[in-house]
Amino acid sequence: MPAIEVNGLTKAFRTYKKSPGFVGALRGLVHRKYEQTIAVKDVGFKVEEGELVGFLGPNGAGKTTTLKMLSGLLYPTSGSASVLGYVPWERQDGYRRQFALLLGQKNQLWWDLPALESLELNAKIYGISKTDFNRTVDEMTELLAIKEKLNVMVRELSLGERMKMELIAALLHQPKVLFLDEPTIGLDVISQKTVREFLKAYNAKKKTTILLTSHYMADIQELCDRVIIIDHGTIFFDGRLHEILDRFADSKLITIQCGSVGGNVACSSKDLGKYGEVVEQTANTVKLKVQRSRVISVCKALLDELPVTDIDIEEVPIEDVIRSIFAR
C-alpha cells in the first residue's frame, strides 16, 4: 500500500468581498458578496514508502495548501486522502505521531529559549526516552554541524542555524512521513548544501517518505528522482525528473571554442545566428541554443566552416525548463 494516496483532492476558499467606502461597509452588514478561490482542484497522486518526491509549482499553485491538507491542518472541500492508512484531517493520535510538517517560513521552536530546551519539550510531548533523545540529537547535530549551538537562544541563531534546529525538531520522533515546505528558503549556499546532504542521507538510512517543495532547483536535482508539478491547483506533470527534459526541452546548448586564423578569432567575425540562438559570445567562445532536431547538422556545419578546437553539447538547465513551463 502506498504511504501517501490522494484522489480528487479539492480545496476552495470563500472570501468576503467588501465594497469600498463607509456605505459599502454598511451594505455588507445586510448583504455580503463572496468570492470563491479554488486553491487545489481534483489533485491525485501516490507516493510509495521511502520515496523522496519533489512537489513543484509557482507561487500560489496550491503546494502548501496540499501539504496542509495532508497534515490535517485543513479540511478539503472534496476528495480523499490516505497517509499511512490514516485520513489526515481526522487527526488521530496514531497518525500525528508518525508524520512531521516543516514550513520554511514558520517557527516551531520557542523564540526565547535555547534550542536544546525546545527539543527536550518536544521529546516529552512525543514520549521519547532520555537515551533515545540524546542519541538522536547527538547524531543529527553532528551531521548538520550545529552541535555547539544547542544552548544558544533561538532568537540569536542565524537563519541557517535556526532552520537546522527546526529540522532536528521535526525529525526528533523519527516520523515515517515528512512534509517539507521550502526548507532551504533564504539559506546561504553552504547551509543549503548541508541540509540537502543531511536529507539525502536520512532518507537513505531511515527510508522516510518525503514530499518536498522548493523553488531551488538544486534541491530537486540532488534529492528527487520523481517530481510532481502543480499549477493553478491542478497536477500538470508527474514523472521522473529526466522526463521533463525529454517532454518540454526542445533545444540543446552547443558550446564551441575557436582557434585563430591569420591572427583573428574566426568565431567573432561570423554570423552565427543562422545556426541557432546565440546565448553567449566572447572572443573565442560561443554558446548556441539549437533545436534538438538540428543538433547533428549544426555541429557538422560548425566543424566544416569554423576552426573549432573544442565542442560541447549539453541539455538546457532544468531550472530554465521549469521556468518556461510555469510561464506557459
pLDDT for res 44: 93
| pLDDT at site 263 | 54
Produce one character per residue of 259-295: b if its CB has 16 or more CB atoms within 10 Å, e if not: eeeeeebbbeeeebeebbeeeeeeebebbbbbeeeeb
Contacts of 128 (CB under 8 A, 6+ apart): 122, 136, 172, 173
Give the residue ranges of the chain where pLDDT is below 70.
24, 261-270, 328
| pLDDT given for residue 283 in this prediction | 74
Number of H helices, E strands in the chain: 11, 15
Looking at residue 286, its pLDDT comes to 86
pLDDT of residue 43: 92
What grid cell was written down for 281? Answer: 559570445
In this chain, the answer to whether the domains covering 49-68+89-246 and 250-327 adopt an identical fold is no
Q: What is the pLDDT of residues 160-211, one digit of tens each?
A: 888 889 899 999 999 999 999 888 887 888 888 888 999 999 999 889 999 9
Domain 49-68+89-246 has CATH 3.40.50.300: yes
Per-residue model confidence (pLDDT) at position 262: 58
Based on C-alpha coordinates, what's the Rg of the chain?
A: 25
Where exactly are the structural domains of the chain?
49-68+89-246, 250-327
Reading the block at residue 179, the C-alpha cell is: 512534509
Assigned CATH class of 250-327: alpha beta
